[in-house]
Amino acid sequence: MKRKLRNKILHRIFIALCLIVALGPIYWMLNTSLKSEAEIYYKIPTLWPEHVTLDSYKYLLTGTNFLNGIKNSLIIAVFVSLFSIFVAYPAAYVLARLQFKGKRVFSKTILFMYLLPTSVLYIPLYIFVARLGLTNNIWGIMLIYPTFTLPYVAWILIPHIASISSTLEEAAYIDGCSKFQTMYRIIFPLALPGIISTTIFAFAMCWGEYLYALVNLISSEVQTFPLVLSGLIFGDMPPWNQLMAGAIMASVPILIIYMLASSSLVGGATAGGVKE
């Protein structure tokens, strides 16, 4: 009994430590966002603002293009993440379920495409988009982002789909389902937790993306929020409180999506199944 209690306490301490490590930076962001510029430079940093001020939030919301940037980021991230799932799911299904020549090469190519660094690709992709006349236009960036979200989503979905029992598919074929119907009516619902989580990650990748947006979105009307935030930096005195306020506000949509999706993730994982 004593040992059980001790283990319980140790577990709680471990969880508390993990939470401190995970939430520490977010707490410090919030703390800094509520400070005046002068307080940020105090000799001994204050753990909570001496004088809480919302000036940074006010400035971001009324004195900058931040809200417009959030709107642009939202449109781009929603479109690209949905498009990525739409295209990557069939690709992942084919690579997970079907046997054909060159399957391994296709799988590896998807991984390599994802591993190509942004710094190598941004100029060629800029040239590509410029030739299409789509620079300074969010359509241009929506054309670029799938180059990293598609391989990512496909690569994550392949093992997920592969882990679903093939017995269900066999049963569907016996009941008269075509391959297409099986893919969307049988496997898709079972793969939903994986699809939702990869969609969230694809969304997050687009949401905070900086370099492609930087070179392609020049006008303030089309810029995404990371560009609005980087535009606040002048020289060697960054307005840390405004930057942190922006980071806090930009975290909200992601948090909401995670919270909304979390029930589907659990529910989807336990729904359906077969008795073998």
Partner 1 sequence: MNMKKATAMIIAAATLTASVCTGFAAAPVKTTSEDKEITVWIEKVFSDDANAMMEARLQQYQEDTGITVHYEMVSATDFVTMLNAAIEAGSNIPDVVSMDTTKVLNYYPNIPAMDVSGLVNEINEERPYFEASYEGTKIGGVHYYVPYYSSSCMMFVRKDKLEEQGLGIPATWEEVFEAALAVSNPEEDFYGLGMGCGENDDDDENTFRQMIWNAGGYLLDADGAITCEDPAVVDTVDKWAELYKAGAVPEDAVTWDAGGNNGSYLAGRTAIVLNAPTLYNALQAEEYKELLENTVVVAPPVGADNGVYMNFNRGFSIMNACEDVDTASDLIKYLCEKAWYDEYMNGIAPVFAPLFEDELENPTWTEDAVNAEVLKYAQNASGYYGYPVSTIEGRSAAAKHYFTFPVVKAFNQVATGSASAQSALENMKYDLEDFTAMVQ
Residues that bind partner 1 (CB under 8 A): 36-39, 41-43, 63, 71-72, 75-76, 78-79, 82-83, 85-86, 122-123, 126-127, 130-131, 135-139, 142, 184-185, 188-189, 211, 214-216, 218-222, 227, 230-238
**Tokens of residue 272, six digits:** 């359906």
The nearer residue to partner 1, 107 or 264, going by C-beta atoms, is 264
| Contacts of residue 224, Cβ cutoff 8 Å, sequence gap at least 6 | 69, 72, 73, 76, 141, 209, 213, 217
Cβ 236 to partner 1 shortest distance, Å: 4
Cβ 165 to partner 1 shortest distance, Å: 19
Cβ 200 to partner 1 shortest distance, Å: 15
Cβ 103 to partner 1 shortest distance, Å: 25
d(CA 99, CA 113): 22
Cα-to-chain-centroid distance, residue 272: 27
The nearer residue to partner 1, 134 or 254, going by C-beta atoms, is 134
The nearer residue to partner 1, 175 or 221, going by C-beta atoms, is 221
Cβ 211 to partner 1 shortest distance, Å: 8
Cβ 158 to partner 1 shortest distance, Å: 20
d(CA 213, CA 73): 10
The nearer residue to partner 1, 102 or 235, going by C-beta atoms, is 235
- End-to-end Cα distance, the chain: 39
The nearer residue to partner 1, 190 or 248, going by C-beta atoms, is 190
The nearer residue to partner 1, 129 or 156, going by C-beta atoms, is 129
d(CA 24, CA 18): 10
The nearer residue to partner 1, 112 or 139, going by C-beta atoms, is 139
Cβ 16 to partner 1 shortest distance, Å: 30
